[in-house]
Amino acid sequence: MGNLWKPNEQRGIFKSTDGGQTWKKVLYVSDQTAASDLVFDPNNPRIMYAGTWDIKRNGYRMDSGGSGSGLWKTTDGGDSWTDLSKNTGLPNGMWGIVGVAVSPLNSNRLWTIIEAQEGGVFRSDDGGLTWQKTNDDRALRQRAWYYSRIYADTQNEDMLYVMNVSYHRSKDAGKTFESFNAPHGDHHDLWIDPNNNQRMIIADDGGAQVSYDGGENWTTYTISPQHNFTGSQQIIIFRIIF
């Protein structure tokens, strides 16, 4: 993301080949364009998709969107990138934040969620060459600049999740969504067990919760009353919860 408060060159995507000792910038659009998402094809780690995002934070507002926002693909581990933003089916006009997901069951099936006037959820079944809009419900983009994360299920090719104030689940490849809430609202991230899609971890403004039944039930923040915590422990727990 770089410095959100001013244009700077510490934006974009960086790659390390020595365990993080040194880094090389491999995708850079401009000093106003951050990286909003980066996902690997689970079946081929040399194939990656990235969202870029023109973003500037101010003391009283956040400016989201610009000519640098887009969707990118690499097939050589990030050494070179192809801009997919003008491909058939994706929205015209200015884009804001971009999220992207790849199905672990079918590398050709992708989804992206795009903040734009004609934005929404888009699906590709040919590795990003062409796209179709599957859903433009505003609830999926309610606070796009804070969330806009989309996740493909690990065992069902037609199931995906979108994070926002609520989190949303589709069972028909993105055409329709149901809305849910974990114990705390404002859902940012989701992990789905690659071997058991019933086991999930969701991250939100309250911390993290675990589900063992596909999101039907989640762990809570309840602290057992028999624990006698010290003052410092109570402060740490308060910070974790809130």
CATH number of the domain residue 32 falls in: 2.130.10.10
> Residue 80: which domain range?
13-180
Euclidean distance between CA atoms 74 and 87, whole angstroms: 15
Q: What sign for the dihedral angle of Cα 130, 156, 36, 62?
A: positive
For residue 183, CA distances in Å to 52, 111, 192 come to 31, 27, 18
Establish if 65 belongs to a structural domain.
Answer: yes
Instruction: Convert the pLDDT of each residue in 22-60 to its tens digit.
Output: 999 999 999 999 999 999 999 999 999 999 999 999 888
Q: Which two tokens stand for residue 116?
A: 């734009």
At residue 238, the 3 state secondary structure works out as helix
Radius of gyration for the alpha carbons in the chain, expressed in angstroms and rounded: 19
How many separate domains does the chain show?
Answer: 1
Establish if 199 belongs to a structural domain.
Answer: no
Establish if 213 belongs to a structural domain.
Answer: no
Establish if 150 belongs to a structural domain.
Answer: yes
Establish if 217 belongs to a structural domain.
Answer: no
**Is residue 235's pLDDT more than 70?**
no
Instruction: Convert the pLDDT of each residue in 137-173 to its tens digit.
Output: 999 999 988 888 999 999 999 999 999 999 999 999 9
Establish if 202 belongs to a structural domain.
Answer: no
Q: Which two tokens stand for residue 27?
A: 């995708």
